[in-house]
Structure 1
Amino acid sequence: MKNNFLLTGATGFIGSNLARELVRQEQNVSVIVRNKELNWRLKDIADKLDIYECNIQDEKLLEIVNRVKPDYIFHLARYGNLPQEEDILKMIDINFKGTVNLINAAKQNPFKLLINTSSCIEYGVKEQSMKETDYLVPINNFGVVAAGITLYAQKEAIRNNLPIITLRLFTPYGYYEDGFRLIPSVIKSAIENELIKVSTPENVRDFIFIEDVVDAYIGATGIRHNPGEIYNIGSGRQHSIGDIVRLILEITKSKSNVQWGAVKKQTRYIEPAKWQANISKTKKILRWEPKNSIEFGLQKAIQWLNLHKDLYNN
């Protein structure tokens, strides 16, 4: 059965993978973008999308939502995902006000589910795997605003009995990820047997393959949720940057040398010794768990990037 899907942030890493999967499933896919000239992630499927040019904090959004009448809304538009995006006033304007605007627009028509996208950055530093019920103690501006958005979406869902949930993502990687990010940048260098420049081997993350993230979003549409539920989307395991580099070198059989400390550490984060999702609730209620181990996910990412080098050479 075909449904109407509306995506914000569709030109981003996660949004573009969702759009591609929905197109593959022959769903009706509408995307809201800031520029109708779609970027490298979506250009080749532009003819299969209904494209609307709009900033999500603009009044025009209501008109678009009324026209599309979406069954499902995937909300991924965010400012602050890139290291240079540090303006908290823009985060409040685009991220928080944009979410308020989207939820207000969605309320004008019946919809089956709105999925808000959140970040593990909201948790801050923890000494154990992170649970949805943990106190939020974000340690940067993006996390503070993201936490506010999660709480606002939850409040709207509970107060108005709306089908709104939040997926709190850990560290996705895979197809169409920005080339400067850790995993694609290391893969590119390893494939070419070039010097691999990285910051430090000790930092840890809970890496989750993009196919599993997409499965979580689409799987969530087939379940009845309590209004305002929050689900962690991670692998439930943490790996160090050193682990990731070692695995990529092993899989690619690369002759690359590694220069640690060659890349400046991001100053936006305090690096915790523990960064791992507790996905017990997600497994139980969402009936989802990752299918790809870190080794298998990296193999797929390497194979894909090897076939799509041209996308990263421009």
Structure 2
Amino acid sequence: MWKGKKVLVTGAGGFIGSHLTEALAQAGAITTAMLRYNSSSSIGNLAFLDAATRDALRIVSGNIEDSDFVNRVVEGQDVVFHLAALIAIPYSYEAPRSYVRTNVEGTLNVLEAARRYGTERVVHTSTSEVYGTALRTPIDETHPLQGQSPYSATKIAADKLAESYYRSFGTPVVTVRPFNTFGPRQSARAFIPTIISQALARDEVRLGSLTPERDMTLVSDTVAGFMAAGTTQGLEGMTLNLGTGKTYSVGWFAERILKLMDVKKRLVQDDARLRPALSEVMKLVSDNTRAREVMGWTPTVSLDEGLQQTIAFFRKHSLSSQVGSYVR
């Protein structure tokens, strides 16, 4: 299905992006990995790929905000997976304009390039954060969108741009809306790696609010949803939730992870990690019916199995340098 397909992944050095890039290359796609330029020549999470997979990639560095660069990279691609974004919610309080430039203008650049060059399929990445705190559960794709942080507001804007390009120009865009994804390679800004890394290195685990509830999907299942969205016919113009349909509190996850690690640590609420009250999203739980019905996607890995995989990764690849401070 993917063999010989020319595929571009923007944000390929990130958490989900690196796993998606790896899976596409191993499936035989001719894969271009777009990274944000940096002077140290870091390739981010692509460094975790085995040498053969990494050598099969075409790696290009630039800036998603540079339309000329984006045009050059999109030209000739069959499928574009657009994941490049600023994603840390706390930092969006500090630098909202940066989020507009990257998340909104960057998405516009990808859509306009795809329109110009007749790309067969654009898979645009949304987030469950666009729903805000659930007004009804489970959350389906018709749930109202609520901008409860500058980050989520820019993702709503990007989603609406994608919708407009489909409706206005027939650009073949599919929007995938992952609920919270976790797994190996995730950064310390996310709460599951934070719990694991602190449990390995500290006498206590410091977190923000323990009460928000999250629907967590292992990254391999999320990647399978992206790949299905890239090939399934007739999805153009659709938005598709990728989630398990089950939700647990941050405190529950902390207790479960500590039990799986067989360690006893005190949980401490750190006020510096709390979101502003009206910005916190209290409950996210997906209705994945549409994804199941139109492209046959459903999560396959149990929560405990996914947590065990993640714990094993961070036992091997320590985040100790980031444990002592709050990573935004």
1:167-206 map, 5 Å: 167-192=176-201, 194-206=203-215
What letter is aligned with 1:18?
L
Runs of 5+ consecutive residues of structure 1 not aligned to the other structure: none
Runs of 5+ consecutive residues of structure 2 not aligned to the other structure: 323-328
CA–CA separation in structure 2 for the residues paired with 1:255 and 1:126: 33
Alignment deviations for residues 66-90 of structure 1 (CA, whole Å, 9 cap, x no partner): 2xx1111110111243522432322
Corresponding residue pairs, total: 311
Q: Which residue of 2 aligns with 1:76?
A: 83
1:28 corresponds to 2:35: no
CA–CA separation in structure 1 for the residues paired with 2:80 and 2:277: 30
Alignment deviations for residues 233-267 of structure 1 (CA, whole Å, 9 cap, x no partner): 11111110111011111111113232234653123
CA–CA separation in structure 1 for the residues paired with 2:269 and 2:177: 30
Q: Which residue of 2 aligns with 1:99?
A: 107
Q: Which residue of 1 aligns with 2:65?
A: 57
Q: What secondary structure, in the 3-state scheme, does the structure 1 residue paired with 2:108 have?
A: helix
116-125 or 37-46, which deviates more:
37-46
Give the C-alpha shift of residue 273 in structure 1: 4.4
Q: Which residue of 1 aligns with 2:326?
A: none
Indicate the RMSD between aligned Cα atoms, in angstroms. 2.2
1:148 corresponds to 2:157: yes
Q: 2:35–2:43: 8 Å Cα contact kept in structure 1?
A: no
Give the C-alpha shift of residue 289 in structure 1: 1.0
CA–CA separation in structure 2 for the residues paired with 1:252 and 1:269: 34
Give the C-alpha shift of residue 274 in structure 1: 3.0
Cα distance change of structure 1 residues 274 and 257 upon mapping to structure 2, 3 Å threshold = closer
Q: What secondary structure, in the 3-state scheme, does the structure 2 residue paired with 1:83 have?
A: helix
Q: Which residue of 2 aligns with 1:38?
A: 42
Give the C-alpha shift of residue 223 in structure 1: 0.6
CA–CA separation in structure 1 for the residues paired with 2:257 and 2:200: 9
CA–CA separation in structure 1 for the residues paired with 2:158 and 2:62: 20
Q: Which residue of 2 aligns with 1:119?
A: 127
What letter is aligned with 1:43?
A
Give the C-alpha shift of residue 122 in structure 1: 1.2
Q: Which residue of 1 aligns with 2:218?
A: 209
Q: 2:182–2:192: 8 Å Cα contact kept in structure 1?
A: yes
- What TM-score, normalized to structure 2? 0.87
Alignment deviations for residues 146-179 of structure 1 (CA, whole Å, 9 cap, x no partner): 1111111112113322321101121111111002
Give the C-alpha shift of residue 112 in structure 1: 2.6
Q: 2:241–2:288: 8 Å Cα contact kept in structure 1?
A: yes
83-92 or 285-294, which deviates more:
83-92
Give the C-alpha shift of residue 44 in structure 1: 5.1
Percent sequence identity over aligned pairs: 24
Q: What secondary structure, in the 3-state scheme, does the structure 1 residue paired with 2:151 have?
A: helix
CA–CA separation in structure 2 for the residues paired with 1:56 and 1:40: 16
What letter is aligned with 1:292?
V
CA–CA separation in structure 1 for the residues paired with 2:232 and 2:141: 19
Give the C-alpha shift of residue 192 in structure 1: 4.6
Q: What secondary structure, in the 3-state scheme, does the structure 2 residue paired with 1:42 have?
A: helix
Give the C-alpha shift of residue 220 in structure 1: 1.7
CA–CA separation in structure 2 for the residues paired with 1:13 and 1:82: 16
Cα distance change of structure 1 residues 19 and 279 upon mapping to structure 2, 3 Å threshold = same
Q: 2:212–2:283: 8 Å Cα contact kept in structure 1?
A: no
